[in-house]
């Protein structure tokens, strides 16, 4: 009896869960092919909004800028975050370790408004004291994005390194490899899934950040989330649906490729 | 046991080596000489310092005091990547992203050997451990026993002066472990490299090593051949740790002509034993191996040591049976009887009275 009920209950809950999670996205994608200007009225299939999107210079410029910022800041965050994660995982005892650890991970729990405001204040006072950075723009956005995304990279890398079998590095040392070579030949390839995951995480976070970016951006540096947000306030255009659909498709492809890569890398003996 | 074949100085000399962790001495002023080509085992319970000592030989830990001389050269401050020493790790530590062949060739590549030399040496050593067919596999595709042999090949291929083995068989199942012991001895004989093995398994140490050092809380308590350590344990700890033993605490009542009588608590008659002359009244322990106790249903004639007890338990172990006998003093004694004898003679069953006897040479007199 119980089994009979469970056979209906579990799939039902799962269906509801999926609807809750993906229903809005599906409707967003469906209405991107709507020929009507009204987002809530279906008036037939059309790719009209896609062609209009590709002629919208403001959105295209913002999208390119966002992708560039996301790629550069994710790469910077990967380098800094890996160093931080390495230090946290390997050097268990040094002066100020507790402070360092909590400062690195602070952006994970800090409200974005506060991170954004404090960065803005920092940039303003830096400019008045040493004259750098001049004004707000792409550079300040990059610095801000690296600051908060490196926390995520550090956490991912630290977790991977904590589970790392130290005897692998010792074995390489024992066989005659110097410490720096051991890092590049043994450690780095083995933590590469975590590095890929960390980079993708940083990339996505940077790509869709609105709050912190709004604080530290300048006149010539409007990112995609800022364009979307301000255009939605004037009424939702189906162009935004089309843009969102392209973004969802891109993210899906990247995530699928990344998880495939990780799977082939993870085929290792049970620890 | 002679040290090595060429006489002279020992191949590995450990002199007064001490290592402290947070004030606690994990290895305490240990000195040890090991000869060329020996198969040496460091044996002891976990936490006795044997692994720390091995890691100091490999260079992963620096001694706080003392010297480590390999072939006459002091190694104490030399980093692991410059030592003529290779180690086989307990977890095997095979690089999961490399094939078997590139795992084994890793050490030779670090030495910048020519490509064809690496290829021939790798295939030679893989053949030695019967892994030639699996050269292109990844470690994840191998069984536990195969991984163990690859790890051994990787440590052997550079022909180190010392090969260190950290619990080499701990991760194998029992049957495989027994085969591997013989295999390890065969390979060691073939290559002639000095092997130093760390193990907590006394049977493993006894069956493979030519000499054994027994360690206890950072100190070496006895060094000798497996036979010496088993037959003539130096302390109660060694007697108890190596194999099964019955320990009786008592006092010497009489000693002359290399024989002692020891009065043991709970027994009316003193136990006769052979041993160095000791003053009457000295507190000693007598160690008697279970297989040296003769168990009979009827009272044997002319036995030098004889006690009576009640059989409480019989554990059948295939080749032998282990009896637990309670003496009148409630002290439990273990005796093993080969099943070939047990089935031939009159049976002693649980709950029956039995006579225990042993020769004067059976007990080992221990003063510490």
Interchain CB distance below 8 Å, A268 and B89? no
Q: What pLDDT score was predicted for residue A131?
A: 87
| Residue boundaries of the structural domains of chain A | 57-266
Burial tier of B137 (Cβ tally within 10 Å: 0-12, 13-18, 19+): middle
Q: Give the whole-angstrom CA distance, residue B346 versus residue B327.
A: 21
Encoded tokens for A46: 């059309």
In this predicted structure, the answer to whether residue B236 has a pLDDT above a threshold of 70 is yes
Say if residues A261 and A199 touch (Cβ distance below 8 Å): no
- Sort out which chain A residues have CB atoms less than 8 A from B90's CB and list them: 167
Coil, helix or strand at residue B367? coil
Helix, strand, coil percentages (3-state) for chain A, rounded to 5, are 75, 0, 20
Q: What is the pTM of this model?
A: 0.82
Among chain B, residues having any CB pair with chain A shorter than 8 Å are 58-60, 79-82, 85-87, 89-91, 93-97, 106-107, 110-111, 138-140, 142, 147, 154, 158
Q: What is the pLDDT of residues B51-62, one digit of tens each?
A: 999 999 999 999
Could you tell me the domains of chain B? 12-240 (3.40.50.300), 244-366 (2.40.50.100)
Helix (H) or strand (E) holding B224: strand B219-224
Q: Give the whole-angstrom CA distance, residue B328 versus residue B330.
A: 5
Burial B197-209 (b: 16+ CB within 10 A, else e): bbbbebebbbebb
Nearest CA in chain A to B156: A175
Residue for token digits 């004004």? A135
Order of strands across the sheet that contains B24-34:
B24-34, B12-21, B65-70, B73-74
Residue for token digits 């469970």? A6
Given phi > 0 = left and psi -120 to 50 = alpha, else beta, which region is B108? alpha
Residue of B81, B97, B111 lying closest to A173 (CB–CB): B81
Interchain CB distance below 8 Å, B81 and A268? no
Residue of B82, B97, B158 lying closest to A190 (CB–CB): B97
Give the HSE-up count for residue B329: Cα atoms under 13 Å, Cβ half-sphere.
Answer: 12
Q: What pLDDT score was predicted for residue A270?
A: 39
CATH superfamily name and code, A57-266: MetI-like (1.10.3720.10)
Complex ipTM more than 0.90, yes or no: no
- Sort out which chain B residues have CB atoms less than 8 A from A175's CB and list them: 81, 86, 106-107, 110, 154, 158
A34 phi and psi angles, rounded to 5 deg: -80, 140
Q: How far is A178 from chain B (nearest CA, A)?
A: 6
- Judged by a CB distance cut-off of 8 A, whether residue A263 touches chain B is no
Interchain CB distance below 8 Å, B97 and A168? no
- Judged by a CB distance cut-off of 8 A, whether residue A175 touches chain B is yes
- Judged by a CB distance cut-off of 8 A, whether residue A262 touches chain B is no
Q: What is the pLDDT of residues A222-265, one digit of tens each?
A: 999 999 888 888 877 888 889 889 989 988 888 888 777 666 65
Q: What is the pLDDT of residues B29-47, one digit of tens each?
A: 999 999 999 999 999 999 8
Nearest CA in chain A to B143: A269
Nearest CA in chain B to A264: B97
Q: What is the pLDDT of residues A46-89, one digit of tens each?
A: 888 999 999 999 899 999 999 999 999 999 999 999 999 999 99
Residue for token digits 């000869």? B35
Nearest CA in chain A to B106: A175
Q: How far is A173 from chain B (nearest CA, A)?
A: 5
Rounded to the nearest angstrom, the gap between the alpha carbon of residue B238 and the centroid of all alpha carbons in its chain is 10
What is the band of B339 on the pLDDT scale with cuts at 50, 70, 90? confident
What is the band of A4 on the pLDDT scale with cuts at 50, 70, 90? low
CA angle in degrees (0–180, nearest 5) for B124-B126-B130: 115
């Amino acid at each position: 009896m119980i089994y009979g009920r469970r056979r209906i209950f579990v799939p039902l809950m799962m269906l509801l869960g999926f609807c809750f999670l993906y229903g809005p996205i599906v409707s967003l994608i469906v209405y991107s092919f709507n020929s009507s200007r009204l987002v809530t009225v279906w008036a037939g299939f059309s790719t009209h909004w896609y062609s209009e999107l590709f002629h919208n210079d403001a959105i295209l410029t913002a999208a390119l800028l966002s992708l560039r910022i996301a790629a550069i800041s994710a790469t910077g965050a990967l380098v800094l975050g890996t160093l931080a994660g390495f230090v946290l995982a390997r050097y268990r005892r040094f002066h100020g370790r507790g402070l360092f650890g909590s400062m690195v991970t602070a952006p994970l729990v800090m409200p974005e408004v506060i991170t954004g405001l404090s960065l803005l204040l920092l940039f303003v006072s830096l400019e008045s004291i040493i004259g750098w950075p001049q004004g707000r723009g792409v550079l300040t956005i990059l610095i801000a994005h690296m600051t908060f995304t490196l926390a995520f990279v550090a956490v991912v890398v630290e977790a991977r390194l904590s589970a790392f079998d130290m005897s692998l590095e010792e074995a390489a040392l024992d066989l005659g490899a110097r410490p720096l070579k051991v890092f590049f030949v043994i450690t780095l390839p083995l933590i590469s899934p975590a590095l890929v995951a960390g980079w993708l995480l940083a990339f996505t976070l940077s790509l869709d950040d609105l709050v912190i970016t709004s604080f530290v951006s300048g006149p010539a540096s409007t990112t995609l989330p800022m364009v979307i947000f301000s255009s939605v306030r004037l009424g939702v255009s189906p162009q935004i649906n089309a843009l969102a659909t392209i973004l969802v498709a891109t993210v899906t492809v990247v995530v699928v490729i990344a998880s495939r890569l990780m799977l082939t890398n993870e085929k290792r003996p049970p620890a | 046991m002679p040290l090595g074949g060429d006489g002279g100085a020992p191949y590995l000399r450990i002199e007064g080596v001490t290592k402290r962790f947070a004030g606690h001495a994990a290895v305490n002023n240990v000195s040890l000489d090991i000869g060329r080509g020996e198969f040496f085992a460091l044996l002891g319970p976990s936490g006795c310092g044997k692994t720390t000592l091995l890691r100091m030989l490999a260079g992963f830990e620096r001694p706080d005091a003392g010297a480590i001389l390999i072939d006459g050269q002091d190694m104490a401050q030399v980093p692991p990547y410059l030592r003529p020493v290779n180690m086989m790790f307990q977890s095997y530590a095979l690089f999961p992203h490399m094939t078997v062949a590139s795992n084994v060739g890793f050490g030779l590549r670090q030495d910048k050997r020519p490509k064809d030399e690496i290829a021939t040496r790798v295939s030679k050593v893989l053949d030695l451990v019967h892994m030639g067919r699996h050269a292109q596999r990844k470690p994840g595709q191998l069984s536990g026993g195969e991984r163990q042999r690859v790890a051994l090949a990787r440590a052997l291929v550079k022909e180190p002066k010392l090969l260190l083995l950290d619990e080499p068989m701990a991760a194998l199942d029992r049957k495989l472990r027994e085969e591997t012991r013989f295999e390890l001895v065969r390979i060691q004989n073939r290559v002639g490299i000095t092997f130093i093995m760390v193990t907590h398994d006394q049977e493993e140490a006894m069956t493979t090593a030519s000499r054994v050092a027994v360690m206890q809380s950072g100190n070496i308590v006895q060094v000798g051949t497996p036979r010496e350590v088993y037959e003539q344990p130096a302390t109660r700890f060694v007697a108890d740790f190596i194999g099964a033993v019955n320990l009786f605490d008592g006092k010497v009542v009489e000693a002359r002509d290399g024989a002692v009588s020891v009065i043991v608590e709970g027994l009316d008659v003193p136990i006769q034993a052979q041993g160095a002359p000791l003053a009457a009244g000295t507190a000693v322990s007598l160690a008697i191996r279970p297989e040296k106790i003769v168990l009979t249903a009827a009272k044997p004639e002319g036995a030098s040591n004889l006690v009576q007890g009640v059989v409480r338990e019989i554990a059948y172990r295939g080749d032998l049976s282990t009896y637990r006998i309670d003496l009148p003093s409630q002290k439990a004694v273990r005796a093993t009887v080969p099943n070939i004898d047990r089935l031939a003679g009159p049976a002693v069953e649980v709950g029956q009275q039995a006579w225990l006897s042993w020769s004067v040479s059976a007990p080992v007199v221990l003063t510490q």
